[in-house]
Amino acid sequence: MELRVLAVGDVVGDSGVRLLARRLRAIKREQEIGFCVVNGENASGVGLTPKQADQILDAGADVITLGNHAFARREICPFLDENSRILRPENRLPSLPGRGFGVFETPLGSVGVVNLIGRCSMDFTPDNPFRIIEPTLRKLGEIPVLIDFHAEATSEKLAMAYFLDGRAAAVWGTHTHVQTADEQILPGGTGYLTDLGMTGPVHSVIGVRPEQSVAHFCGKLGSRYEVAQGPCAIMGAVFTIDMAARRCTGVTRFREDERPAR
């Protein structure tokens, strides 16, 4: 039995949320998707609100993962404790709201989903993800495991994939918002892509108005970043998982650009 898993890259802004609401269920039908994980940590530009979380789940996501902005919108904190379908990085402090992994049902059986955050070129206050994942895998037991590794450095993401090769069914990266072209199945059977890309405005600098990002890099006085306007795209990847072997048999990048209004 093979399960097709759609992993969707970081949703940026209300426009990204709206595009998911319009297209995600149709995409799942067209791609014969049995399970869908969406990274939603930039739905508010920075962070996720309870309303946006409900919208993403209603759009067809089975699980929402987060990242370095997991707690940026403090109103999400009680929601993280209440809703087991939203995961924040497992290697953040255990005392913080929410959970970092869970077991979820699919049409072909149970899968585990884990959200981790990297530390290279980011905030080093989270615990070491390479250390934290070991007990987490033991808790999940003998089921296929899917991992969203929210990290900056490509080296850290790829190192995590090799560290988990043969133990996780799929490892994908989020955070950098630029879809990479290195989809592969590692020697031990773990599917991998360094970064899914993002679900948000195409004409932007990782979701932000280009002129704001240009001003920042030119050293000018800037303003609070704003989500860019214009057409959006959904980016991600489809992982085909052999449920019995707990291995990946196929990885395909996915991108769908918003159709212009008629």
Active-site residues, by number, are 69
Alpha helices in 97-186 (DSSP H): 129-140, 154-163
DSSP state of 152: S
* Strand positions, DSSP E, 60-159: 63-65, 86-87, 101-106, 109-117, 145-150
CA torsion 92-66-10-226 (nearest 10°) is -90
Q: If you search the block for the tokens 């802004």, which residue do you land on?
A: 13
Cβ atoms of 44 and 255 closer than 8 Å: no
Alpha helices in 141-238 (DSSP H): 154-163, 210-217
Q: If you search the block for the tokens 């890099």, which residue do you land on?
A: 217
